[in-house]
Structure 1
Amino acid sequence: MTLPTLIITACFLIFAVTVVLFGGPSVGKAKSRRLSTVKDRHAASTEAVVAAQMRKTIQAASGRDSKLSSLMPRREEMEKRLLRTGKGWTVTQYMLASMGVFVIFTGALLVLRTPFLLATLVGLFAMIGLPYLVVGRLIKRRVAKFNTRFPDAIDLLVRGLKSGLPVTETFQVVSQELPGPVGEEFKAVVERIRIGNTMEAALQESAETLGTSEFQFFCISIAIQRETGGNLAETLANLSDVLRKRAQMKLKIRAMSSEAKASAYIVGSLPFFVFTIVWMMNPEYLAGFFSEPRLMIAGVGGLIWMSIGAFIMSRMISFEI
């Protein structure tokens, strides 16, 4: 198969996969958008009006991005995941990157004379799984950076409150003094408060974006103090101490489970390592896995069972605090 034929076939497969998987915009989502527009038009409270204006601004800014991204199922969930990475990526860029991964993997396997069906299946798995794993890795890394510096941010808030500054001013100080995800999230909270949102709503939106229990504890502490009163500086100081002890406990658990994790990684990677070594030494011995239907079915079944085993092992070494 020549290179132009590969390119034409890959483009056709991209179009077919896009049509089959993404299938067009949802009627239910269009109905929800119309109902939301009617509610915003007749909104009475100031907070509802501000929220409506924010939604209109976001839709206007992302209008050029909606044609392709509207094909994505559960688009709102994907937008939240991309927002959590802190990279400013759009759903359209995510979809284009996924299609690029499909073309690269499928084309590479076809160049290596892999059967067309197997190359297509591997390309589909790579298109769906690889970008999702990359985004999840970036989210995990950003959340870890946030949790590492978050107790320092709380200590800075405590010092500001003890010196007589209001809470919103201490948020501004944190956004300016601390770099990275902590400063970015507190800057977003300050901006939401400036356009008219309440402090609780602004903090809760950041909590939903981050998805961490540490920041949720912080939001609950602020909300309870504003309702019942009390010394907010002392409450936040206690929270900072609890979060530091929680981080130390996580490190101890990671150290205790490192041996089990290493065993899981070795057991999971050993079959692929052996397959690669045998393929390099004697390709004809394993050529049937790419041409014989029965061996292909057996290989897929083995991969499925290995995936189940890897999932079980990952749950066994995963601890929640």
Structure 2
Amino acid sequence: MEAATLRSPLLREGAKPLLVAHRAGAGEAPENTLESLKYCIDLQVPLVQMDVMRTKDGQLVLFHDVPVEKNLEKLTGVAGDISSFDYDALPDFKREFEASAMCPPGSKPVPVQQRRISLFKDACRALAASRTDIILEFWQESEVVVLEALEVLREFGLQNRVAAWGSPELAAIQQWCRKACPEIPVIVTFKQSFLVWFYWNMGLLRCGYPTKQLLPFFSESEPRVVFNVLHVSEALPHAIFKLAKVDPERSPIRAGLIRLLLRLLKAFTDTPRLFGFLSERHKVPTVLFIANTARDVATCSSYPGVVAVQTDFPKQFRADLAMTK
């Protein structure tokens, strides 16, 4: 495959950011399933973000949950790691998925019609027959997963429709993705994104300090990096309370401390000038996640350099985005 034949949709220029269905629309359909993917395809969503993991017998499946050592429990009720099960031995999904922590308070559970964990190759078959492109994330530190995923993508002619791939957590995955197919942009890791924010807030990027020395992952002549980063959204306090099992009414001091830390995090990361700088100076596009309220959609879509915004509610997002100028 020649670089000239590949053009990530994230590198295009457009008036409004692209809609990305996070986990294929986890707030409106069962996350990371063939069912949710077909839902997004029917909605003509331009981009879906999905997660790929590998079973013990080498089957690639759509799945993501943490902590890894019990990553089946939330969605199936059975504790265990996907890599410890053969595909046929994997438990079925629950009959409904609880709304994710990033969904606004009061979000309803999502019913599940197809209870088998979906195969990645079936998702690729559906994508090949559609106009929807994909962002792929990996959560197992294995080069084999990357190589086998690329093999499946090529089998269905989808290698030029991967907008970006990699892992927000695992730097090794980023290197393996670059090695396997350097034409596909890679997403930055959490550590890399915080380095970017740190150098920006310290003024080192703005004052012209050599970016190659500070941020070697931006140092190539034509960087194929996507600044795929967290937006401190309205729903984030609720998500932290839920994950940390903090009741704001019973533990007001802990809740207040969490809110304070999130305000500081927002001040550190809410940097539209940085997003514009990365786009203009380095041709690095920004993708923000996750916008699940109308206000977050309006805020994220107004930032310079932001080419796409991830949401759990693709149908509602489209309506909210249409209202923004």
Please say whether Structure 1 and Structure 2 have the same fold, judged by a TM-score greater than 0.5: no
Give the helix-richer structure, 1 or 2: 1
Radius of gyration: which is bigger? Answer: 1
Give the strand-richer structure, 1 or 2: 2
TM-score range normalised by the length of the shorter chain: under 0.3
Greater relative contact order structure (CA < 8 Å, 6+ sep): 2
